[in-house]
Amino acid sequence: MSVVDNIRLVRETMAEASRRSGRDPARVRLMAVTKTVDDDRIIEAIRAGVDIVGENYVQEAKRKIYKMGNPCEWHLIGRLQTNKAKYAVRLFDMIHSSDRLELAQELDRRASAAGRVMKVLIEVNIGGEETKSGIPLASATDLVRAVAPLENLSIQGLMTMPPWFNDPEEARPFFRALRELRDRIIAEKIPRVEMRELSMGMTGDFAVAIEEGATIVRIGRGIFGERQAG
Ligand SMILES: *Cc1c(COP(=O)(O)O)cnc(C)c1O
């Protein structure tokens, strides 16, 4: 199937999941995840109405953004090394992978130098997996408190990647845990912290993520097909 057909199908599934769970479909946005995807197919997705493109690697994103400009928002979803913060604040509209204070402080300094306020999500390692990035659930609220005063960052919400399951229903408790964390953070009324966004759900499990409150779903294979190995 073509990129355009895939996007139509994903959007239908998104709308159904929103309806099933009594949510406003307009509050769930689709991100096309484009690591390893050719430029032409990214452009196809943007022409089909995708307005958020998610990249994992700063270097790869830099080339694409210089070439395509900003017909869409560019979000960073991959692990960010502190020494790449200076590029990241100039390239991206939002950084989903802020998961430690040291990185946040460097992003804040670099955003200040670039004269902008950078939107960030706090990435939470909701399953406590050693191989995944993200702040452990138990420390997430403390990290939000520590990042909140940094004037050139604006916390917009939370991001997670649950453990991988064959059956997406098994991911549900992890999505729910992120939503409950968000609700606890909202109840803390921490100044300057917004909790508008829950970035969760990928090709295999995005319908369940929407039922549990996702506001941004990150879809790669469901739009572009299987990625090349390596
Ligand atoms: C690759 C990736 C996705 C997309 O995964 P698919 O299974 O291709 O939909 C989403 N989020 C992150 C952080 C990723 O690295």
The verdict on residue 230 lying in a domain is: no
The verdict on residue 229 lying in a domain is: no
Nearest CA to ligand 1 atom 7: 203
The verdict on residue 163 lying in a domain is: yes
Q: Ligand 1: which atom is nearest the Cα of residue 218?
A: 10
The verdict on residue 48 lying in a domain is: yes
- Burial environment of residue 47 by CB neighbours within 10 A (0 to 12, 13 to 18, 19 or more): exposed
Q: How confident is the model at residue 1 (pLDDT cuts 50, 70, 90)?
A: confident
Instruction: Convert the pLDDT of each residue in 194-223 to its tens digit.
Output: 999 999 999 999 999 999 999 999 999 999
pTM: 0.97
The verdict on residue 85 lying in a domain is: yes
Residue range of the domain that includes 98:
3-224
Instruction: Convert the pLDDT of each residue in 107-164 to its tens digit.
Output: 999 999 999 999 999 999 999 999 999 999 999 999 999 999 999 999 999 999 999 9
Pocket probe for ligand 1: among 164, 198, 218, the residue whose CB has the most ligand atoms within 8 Å is 218
Number of domains making up the chain: 1
The verdict on residue 164 lying in a domain is: yes
The verdict on residue 39 lying in a domain is: yes
CATH code for the domain of 98: 3.20.20.10
- Sign for the CA dihedral angle at 24, 56, 117, 43 comes to negative
Q: Which residue has the tokens 């941004």?
A: 216
